[in-house]
Chains A and B, each alone.
Chain A
Amino acid sequence: MEHQASLQLTSSGADYSAHQKIGLAFIGVGLLALLITFLGEGALNPTVTLALSLAGLLTGSGILFARMLHQPAGVNNNGVWFSGATARGMAGWILGIVFTGFYILLYWTPSNLEQLIRGTDALSYAIRGSAADQWFLYGLFYTLAVLVMGIRMLIKYRDNRYQILRTISVMFFQLGLAFLIPNLMVLLNQPEFYFSYFWPLKYDYLWPSTFSSLTQGPGLGIFLLFWTAVMTVIATPVLTYFFGKRWYCSWVCGCGGLAETAGDPFRHLSDKSARAWKIERWMVHSVLVFVIVTTLMLWGNQWMGGGLLGGMSQEFSRWYGFFIGLIFAGVIGVGFYPVMGSRVWCRFGCPMAAVLGLLQKYFSRFRITTNGGQCISCGNCSTYCEMGIDVRWYAQRGQNIVRASCVGCGMCATVCPRGVLRLENGPLEARYNGPVLIHHDDMSVQLDETWKQSRPLMPPVQEDLPILTDDDL
């Protein structure tokens, strides 16, 4: 009898860990080879060790992903809060420190990464005709992370076409527009230009320095300026009007692309509290003001021939580049994935997200609709919202979700076990539907209104945080 039970165990339990062990062994070898490259001081050929490392990492990931294919398709977040790596355990903190450390080396002491950089020389010569630098290494790692973890997304969400298309899209934009094309442009003696980034995310694209270098530089410069201006001023509002900010944040953007792929295992770590929401609104709009002021100052200074506030505008732009561009977007934005979730930068710092958010909130057809009274308040939607939106708050009272920060990743709708949420583009009327009555035939809206008049309503509590005023009558 004992035997029978253990036989059953073999078919589902033990098999799993054997498979997992092989995959992890390959990843271990890959990491070791990476470490050897990093510390190798040229004793071993870095091209060989780096190639070995990537081969190990890719094979190991492939083996682990193949396991997912054996499980029936469908939402599977089993054990997310049990694993140290995804639940801020020891492994999570170590990962966070490694990611953060990498950014620090990359920005401040790239010489420490010399061997890794040399390891990518061969590839760099092949696609851009010159030796690699730390930015090439970074771009390569970044793109690989999006591609490999993108494949994981494709497998994990293989029964959901919205997730599939969206993931293919970010993989395409990262590989094509944020990696190959800019490097090929270098090869062709053109400016290294990123077609998928615009001001104010790529803040310097509307700074006078970029204007002068593009207009005076070789070839395509004027076209590139035209592209930047059109995308920033025309395409952004128009596309956001029709589709919401998701057209950019979860379909095109590289920061979003990394968050949606490499960041997927950490999405539930975002803070859902009303307090965090308040901080978010202050912070992200402050950054937007900062970048607008900086840009205006630079132009003012340019126009007045350096007369505006002396060197202040240069100083301002240097600070912006340092604190926002480097520390916030990079070190904190990605380094803190395993601690604060995958969208820290997008949520608290990105000025592009702030612009798109304002457009989305006040001038867009996009909203998430809720399905009558079907919500069981389980909390899956809020938990897996990487932007920390308390989706359940709205869903359980039958209210549409119209939030500036929503990047339209669709994950709330995907994980909802009751089919309550749907991302939609629709007419502006009734987009803010207010908390509607949820399936109570006995109480028509009219009855509620007369009732309100016949007895004094409690004054709403704490108006400053709308999330706390519970007025779903």
Chain B
Amino acid sequence: MARHIVIIGNGITGITAARFIRKLSDDRVTVVSSETDHFYARTALMYIYMGHMRYQETKPYEDHFWSRNRINLVRGYATQIDPGQKVVRIADGNDIAYDALLLATGSQSNKFGWPGQDLLGVQGLYGMQDLTLMERNTRNIAHAVVVGGGLIGIEMAEMLHARQIPVTFLVRENSYMDYLLPKEESALINREIAEHGIDLRLNTELKSIRGRKTAEAVETSQNERIECQFVGLTAGVHPNIDLAKASGIDTNRGIVVNEFFETSLPDIYAAGDCAEFNADGIGSRRIEQLWYTGRAHGKVVAKTLCGHRTPYQKGVFFNSAKFFTMEYQTYGDVPAQSEPHIRSRLFQSGRKLLRINSDRESGRVLGFNAMGVRLRQDQCEAWIRSGTSIKNVLASLGKARFDAEFYSNAVYRQAAAV
């Protein structure tokens, strides 16, 4: 008999799981979410604000896709789970009975208890409601401050800049994202930020936000006061564990799961941003908060949910981003600080940069960073996985190019000359 699989959260994790469950089984699938009626790309939030796209363009599937594929969508907020009765309580008073339940509740913006963090005009950026709020909060303002030098922070700075709102960008570190990026990469981004006319304040933290009802100014750790009518708090995100906690499921920073995404309660699973792998889990990163990892989790947990218990295994790490106009891709292991066993080769030509790391002793290639150039993921991954020697990689680097036709080959020429 067809079971009923209920998924909380219609982000990339929940939706990927729903799609694969539909493909693998005839079970009933219901996706509950309080944010939007349909799945949209959270990664595209910035483009809506900048006017590149509207909400409807950010939806990866047409609205009729869901009913055609018999994926039932429910708009509502899940307040509690009753694991004994196997039902989920929805805020509107309805109960949804499940045979198996997947929590894919995502993340929430961090707030660190700054004085004034609850004033009007102060907000984070995570979901559609935040975007609506930001639209309202930034109307006719003269100056904005963005706090926190991560990926969402720089996106927010770019968003405001696109609306011609002058931005001061407070970054705790010595150089933008130097905790993740080697110094040359980080320097390129500092330059990119400055070229766009953003007032970048490095080594600067937020001390407090001033204002009576709405934000009027921020005070920084450098004891400066910056007048502003909007403060964007983008100092990272944390897993959204509200529902799990309220329902007696084991949580730590995230919802604790094993490599099968099983939580501490039977028939309840958690995946994506909200999940935290337990100690005997996998790899060093216990919480994975990326679009790509959400998609991978969703796909694997779907198999388990359909009765084919499949462990999650991490592959060669990859990620990408765009900092204003600067594209960035990374494959494998490229730490910010050079480590003794790593030999790092850097090829740079103006705003184009290519870094290739290899093992100092064996010469095996370990990782790639590309800025302003595009690399082919399959190729980089194959080289890393098979431990190809750096010599061979440099000799056949052309195979990994993914740039548009006629694109400058300056960095590849440098690499080939080694």
A residues adjacent to B (C-beta < 8 A): 1-2, 4-6, 8-9, 11-13, 16, 72-75, 77-83, 159-162, 165, 273-274, 371-374, 376-380, 382-383, 392-393, 396, 410, 413-414, 417-419, 422-423, 438-443, 451, 454-458, 461-462, 468, 470-471, 473
Contact = CB atoms under 8 A, between A and B. Distances in A.
Contacts of A471: 23
Contacts of B225: 1
B374 A419 contact: yes
A453 B367 CA distance: 37
Nearest to B70: A461
Interface string B21-59: 011111000000000000001011001001111100111
Contact of A5 (B143, B291, B374): B143
Contacts of A413: 404
A377 B329 contact: no
B320 A2 contact: no
Rank and list the top 9 A-B pairs by shortest CB-CB distance, nearest first.
A74-B325, A372-B377, A419-B374, A441-B315, A161-B406, A378-B44, A79-B51, A376-B43, A442-B313
A442 B142 contact: no
A77 B325 CA distance: 12
Contacts of A417: 322, 327
B139 to A, nearest CB: 13
Nearest to A418: B320
Contacts of A443: 299-300, 303, 310
A377 B296 contact: no
Contacts of B399: none
A376 B45 CA distance: 12
Given A382-B57, A419-B329, A160 B404 contact: yes
B335 to A, nearest CB: 21
A297 B77 CA distance: 66
B227 A2 contact: yes
A439 B315 contact: yes
A4 B142 CA distance: 10
B69 A9 contact: no
B111 interface: no
Contact of A419 (B162, B292, B320, B324): B320
Contacts of A6: 142
Given A4-B227, A5-B143, A161-B407, A74 B58 contact: no
Interface string B371-408: 00011111001000000000000000000001111111
A81 B53 contact: yes
Contact of A80 (B52, B300, B313, B377): B52
B327 A419 contact: yes
B404 A12 contact: no
A5 B325 contact: no
B295 A371 contact: no
B306 A455 contact: yes
Interface centre among B52, B54, B57, B374 (most CB of A within 10 A): B52
B142 A9 contact: yes
Contact of A373 (B57, B162, B217, B318): B318
A213 B45 CA distance: 60
Given A376-B291, A378-B47, A11 B197 contact: yes
B150 to A, nearest CB: 16
Interface of B: 12, 19-20, 22-26, 41, 43-44, 47, 50-54, 57-60, 62, 65, 68-70, 142-143, 162, 164-166, 192, 195-197, 199, 217, 225, 227-228, 291-292, 295-296, 299-300, 303, 306-308, 310-316, 318, 320-322, 324-325, 327, 329, 374-378, 381, 402-408
A418 B19 CA distance: 24
Nearest to A452: B24
Contact of B325 (A72, A165, A372, A456): A72
A383 B53 contact: yes
A423 B405 contact: yes
18 contacts: A1-B217, A9-B142, A72-B196, A79-B162, A159-B325, A162-B406, A377-B43, A378-B44, A379-B59, A382-B57, A383-B52, A383-B57, A438-B295, A443-B310, A455-B307, A457-B24, A461-B69, A461-B70
A38 to B, nearest CB: 34
A461 B67 CA distance: 10
A12 B142 CA distance: 11
A60 B130 CA distance: 39
A81 B52 CA distance: 6
B305 to A, nearest CB: 12
B377 A378 contact: no
A383 B296 CA distance: 25
Contacts of B217: 1
Contacts of B303: 443, 451
Given A165-B406, A419-B374, A455-B306, A78 B52 contact: yes
A74 B381 CA distance: 28
Contact of B292 (A1, A373, A422): A373
Contact of B311 (A16, A442, A454): A442
Contacts of A451: 24, 303, 308
Nearest to A447: B310
Contact of A378 (B41, B325, B378, B407): B41
Nearest to A417: B322
A378 B58 contact: yes
A403 B381 CA distance: 28
A74 B20 CA distance: 37
A273 B62 contact: yes
A414 B44 contact: no
A13 B197 CA distance: 11
A74 B296 CA distance: 31
Interface centre among A457, A470, A473 (most CB of B within 10 A): A470
B230 to A, nearest CB: 12
Contacts of B25: 455, 458
A162 B162 contact: no
Given A371-B376, A443-B299, 9 more contacts: A13-B164, A13-B166, A16-B164, A80-B52, A372-B376, A373-B292, A374-B318, A377-B44, A377-B291
A470 B69 contact: yes
A174 to B, nearest CB: 21
A106 B323 CA distance: 48
A439 B292 contact: yes
Contacts of A2: 142, 227
A5 B292 contact: no
B41 A379 contact: yes
Contacts of B403: 422
B309 to A, nearest CB: 12
A8 B313 contact: no
A377 B402 contact: no
A81 B325 contact: no
A373 B23 contact: no
A83 B52 CA distance: 11
Nearest to B303: A451
Contact of A78 (B65, B162, B316, B329): B162
A455 B227 CA distance: 63
A260 to B, nearest CB: 16
Contacts of A12: 164, 166, 197
